[in-house]
Amino acid sequence: MKRIISFMLIITMCLSMWACSGEEKQPSEEKKESTKTATPLPTAEPIGGDNNEDSNKPQIEVTRSDGEYEYNQELNIIDDNYRNYYQVFVYSFCDSDGSGIGDINGVISKLDYIKDMGFNGIWLLPVHPSTTYHKYNVRDYMAIDETYGTLEDFKRLIEECHKRDIKLIMDFVINHSGSDHEWFKSACKSVKIEPCGKETCTVEELCREHNPYVDYYIFTQTKSSGDYKGIGDGWYYEGVFDTKMPDLNLKNENLRKELEGIMKYWLDMGVDGFRLDAAMHFVEKDTAANNEIISWVTKYCKSINKDAYIVAEVFTNFTEFSQYYESGIDSIFNFSIGQVTGRISQTFNNYSDRYSLSAFGQSLVEYETDISAINPNAIDAPFITNHDMARLKGYMRVSPSEGGVEGAYNKQKMANAMLYVIKGSPFMYYGEEIGMASIMGKDENFRAPMYWSNTNSKGMVKFSSCDVKLTDHTYGSVEEQMADKYSLLNFVKRCVQIRNENPEIARGTTAVLEEFNKGDIMAISKEYNGSKIIILMNISGEHAQMDISKSVYGYEGIRGYASCDDAVVTLEGETLTLPNNTMVVLK
């Protein structure tokens, strides 16, 4: 059994020592929690597995595969803003010139890999000139950092992406600029050197009489909090994140005109949209003001390219970030699904009915309902990890009874299966498809070099200019995993393939199949443009069989499946055998 009652309290107490406190409000959180126990499936035979301790239960035999897969379908990829995005930190991704640092030409060299994995969208972290390795303190919004390459390299990247039907979106950092941006340097000079002739000058007087750039930022002569950094002569500027990142005053119309010119420049070049960094900080603690700014950006971009895709980072709980859909933006990253406290990780690590796999299925319906009530055109943007947090490998806690390293590996696989059945545009952080690890501490540790090969150093990033702690790569390189039919990489590839074969997954309305959605078995349907599919997933620790009426549920057979090992999902008549750690689509 997956969970032995006598072992339950010990596991729960151990997990509570490392889990983050102060959980956000989740859908259905008002439901009373209880110890998670196995719930027998209606119409199902008694369940058994390879490690079943109850000899009185009949064993469910599963078919084993030699690695061949018989359900490849024709891809059905619709050209819209529902995409599978791959997040690339250029610095750490692929080095084309032996400098030890990733570059744009390195990204170009890996586009076929990205395409082959099934991703048809790329989000690039900042590529503009900057004094830091992460480049979130932008010095020039109209240029490419020379360590990454040239503007011509970037134009070729756009061209090569579009040849492969891959959309490219850029990180657009407008909450703040770099402190070495010409706007800020000019503004500081005016504040310190050119007083307005009075003992105390208002920002408005400085702007009117001397320098309009002063009002591009938030200057004050009163330091009200640690968010304000001094520049001398009794003046301070707002810089919430860092002294090198002075906050921009996005209420200023002249600044907006400048930013519109920047957006048009990149959109005209062929960029397909933007990711808005730190959107909840545009105006601190003012959702309405932030929504107005996001609405302005969204409307302007779509006036240049009606198909431009805009997604914003609002790093908070569902109740708060969902309100940002009032802006009319396409997507907001769903932090309730991602990170260590999100629904996916908690499904494996929080042993309560609230976080069972079936509860996850129910939460998908609730997310869709709540988001569409605010903006019916919204596209959810689920993810598991990104560049600001530890990687998934560190989240997967297992007891010896759950299989140790192999159990953790299977959890990572099934976490990805969960991601790729969610409606919307899912985002995957580079390296998660091979289970890269990270060490807590500095952000650099979350952004370690992509592990391409264990035999060939070509393209490998050294990360030489930053102090990053590299961990062992338990699951192997891209090269190794591509050769292993049962690797995490190939499991992720299968999940993305199934998504690309069935547009209902990304776009369809989700419903729970109550008869089968029990315990750690999820059963949902998706309906889109008159077409319906059924998705079932099993992480119960046991193989399952269930009778699913074809006439009642309206399907013909298996459309595709993903299995953590060589176990095969089979359908004999109307009896489905769903091995542990598998996902299947019926249509």
Report pLDDT digits (tens) over 506-521: 999 999 999 999 999 9
Whether 29 has a pLDDT exceeding 80, the answer reads: no
> What six digits make up the tokens of 68?
């061949």
Mean of pLDDT over the chain: 88
Question: What proportion of the chain, given as a percentage, has pLDDT over 90?
Answer: 76
Place of tokens 């309305």: 509
Residue 56 pLDDT: 62
Q: Are 311 and 333 in contact (CB under 8 A)?
A: yes
How would you classify the pairing of strands 509-512 and 521-528? antiparallel
Nearest to 12 by CA among 407, 405, 355: 355
- The 3-state secondary structure of 153-186 reads HHHHHHHHHHHCCCEEEEEECCCECCCCCHHHHH
**Residues of the chain by 3-state class (helix, strand, coil), percent to 5:** 35, 15, 50
Q: Are 544 and 378 in contact (CB under 8 A)?
A: no
Q: Are 419 and 384 in contact (CB under 8 A)?
A: yes
Residue 33 pLDDT: 33
Whether 197 has a pLDDT exceeding 60, the answer reads: no
Residue 389 pLDDT: 94
Mean pLDDT throughout 562-575? 97
Residue 350 pLDDT: 85
Instruction: Name the phi and psi angles at 219, rounded to 5.
Output: -95, 150
Instruction: Name the phi and psi angles at 243, rounded to 5.
Output: -65, -25
Cβ burial 495-507 (10 Å sphere, 16+ → b, else e): bbbbbbbbbbbbb
Within 371-520, strands assigned E span: 381-382, 427-429, 509-512
Confidence grade of residue 577 (pLDDT, cut at 50, 70, 90): very high
**Neighbour order of strands in the sheet with 531-538:** 509-512, 521-528, 531-538, 582-586, 558-563
Q: Are 422 and 411 in contact (CB under 8 A)?
A: no
Residue 402 CB partners (closer than 8 Å, separation 6+): 2, 541
Nearest to 464 by CA among 449, 454, 453: 449
Residue 473 pLDDT: 82
Residue 191 pLDDT: 81
Place of tokens 């309730």: 336
Q: How far apart are CA 519 and CA 341, in angstroms?
A: 20
Cβ burial 148-168 (10 Å sphere, 16+ → b, else e): bbeeebbeebbebbeeeebbb
pTM of this structure: 0.89
Confidence grade of residue 391 (pLDDT, cut at 50, 70, 90): very high
Residue 417 CB partners (closer than 8 Å, separation 6+): 491, 495, 537, 562, 583
**Neighbour order of strands in the sheet with 570-572:** 544-547, 575-578, 570-572
Q: How far apart are CA 427 and CA 20, in angstroms?
A: 23
How would you classify the pairing of strands 582-586 and 558-563? antiparallel
Whether 45 has a pLDDT exceeding 50, the answer reads: no
Confidence grade of residue 189 (pLDDT, cut at 50, 70, 90): confident
Condensed to tens digits (0 to 9), the pLDDT of residues 466-476 reads 555 556 688 99
Condensed to tens digits (0 to 9), the pLDDT of residues 267-298 reads 999 999 999 999 999 999 899 999 999 999 99
Residue 439 pLDDT: 78
Residue 469 pLDDT: 56
Mean pLDDT throughout 166-180? 98
DSSP states of 515-584 as a string? TT-BTTEEEEEEEETTEEEEEEEE-SSSBEEEE--HHHHT--SEEEEEESSSEE-EEETTEEEE-TTEEE
Q: How far apart are CA 331 and CA 325, in angstroms?
A: 7
550 compared with 437, residue with greater pLDDT: 550
Whether 200 has a pLDDT exceeding 60, the answer reads: no
Residue 117 pLDDT: 98
Whether 48 has a pLDDT exceeding 70, the answer reads: no
Confidence grade of residue 207 (pLDDT, cut at 50, 70, 90): low
Residue 108 pLDDT: 98
Residue 400 pLDDT: 72
Whether 94 has a pLDDT exceeding 80, the answer reads: yes
Q: How far is CA 125 from CA 90, 91, 261, 302, 336, in A?
A: 7, 9, 20, 21, 22
Condensed to tens digits (0 to 9), the pLDDT of residues 216-271 reads 999 988 888 889 999 987 889 999 999 999 999 999 999 999 999 999 999 999 99
Mean pLDDT throughout 414-419? 98
**Domains of the chain and CATH, by start:** 24-74+509-586 (2.60.40.1180), 85-178+252-499 (3.20.20.80), 182-238 (no CATH)
Condensed to tens digits (0 to 9), the pLDDT of residues 313-341 reads 999 999 999 999 999 999 999 999 999 99
Residue 41 pLDDT: 36
Q: How far apart are CA 326 and CA 312, in angstroms?
A: 13
